[in-house]
Chain A
Amino acid sequence: MYIYDKNNIKITRYDGNHNDVWTPWVVEDTVKVRLKADWSVTKFGLIIDQKETRV
């Protein structure tokens, strides 16, 4: 799973199973989340339950 900023610059990547994870702060007002799997893998997926912003 990949985290991008609004200009599609990759911020970080997560592999495997995790619980209770905050992403790094992403500059500006948008964060993109890409979940990409190949044909051989299927797992739980993701739940985003909070967002935090700074002005």
Chain B
Amino acid sequence: MRTPWIDGDAVKVRLRSDRSITNFGFIVDQKETRITLPQLDTTLTTASGTLESSQNTQVTVHVSSGGTPVSGATVDILASNGSLNPATGITDSNGDFIAAYSASEVISQTAVPLSAPASKDVYNSGSSSITIIVNPLDTNLVESSHPYPNSYDNTWTITEPGADKIRIHFSRL
């Protein structure tokens, strides 16, 4: 015979008899307990949400539970495209694990989902995800019509904001 589940960490058994009865009594031979583990809350952020091909960005995974940072949690960062360094680690005293994400070269704009499952003993695992946009390489920055027409006159302006000097390469002219 099993008792119902009782909330909390104690159950009391009372055996009471009157003056006229005496019986065998009882034997409690087992106890069973359940512990509700605290939940790990995971937040995944990147320094930049949009990257050019082959560009890098910092990825931070913050792990907490009930609003308190959790150190020593194991974090894996998974990406469908590109690479992470390191891809696996342990959260620090602030509950953070920091890695670098390197986008691969893509030929069209690509949405790359990143996910970060985190786990630690005596906690329920948590996970978070985010999507980074990776832009394609500029295969040709500028191209005129071929051939250009008679009396053609056109000017292209190529700018890299913040540069102190710039030069360009013609594959053909």
> A residues bordering B, Cβ < 8 Å?
1, 4, 6, 14, 17-55
Contact = CB atoms under 8 A, between A and B. Distances in A.
Given A33-B158, A40-B150, A42-B148, A48 B140 contact: yes
B167 A1 contact: no
B151 interface: yes
Nearest to B169: A50
Size bracket, chain B contacts = 35 or more
Contact of A27 (B152, B160, B162, B164): B164
B149 A42 contact: yes
Interface of B: 139-173
Contacts of A54: 163-166
A53 to B, nearest CB: 4
Given A19-B171, A22-B168, A42-B147, A51 B139 contact: no
B161 to A, nearest CB: 6
Contacts of A47: 140, 142-144, 170-173
B168 A31 contact: yes
The 5 closest A-B CB pairs, nearest first, are A45-B144, A53-B163, A50-B169, A48-B142, A29-B163
A49 B171 contact: yes
A36 B167 CA distance: 20
Q: Which of A14, A18, A40, A47 has the most chain B CB atoms closer than 10 A to its own CB?
A: A47
Contact of B148 (A6, A24, A28, A37): A37
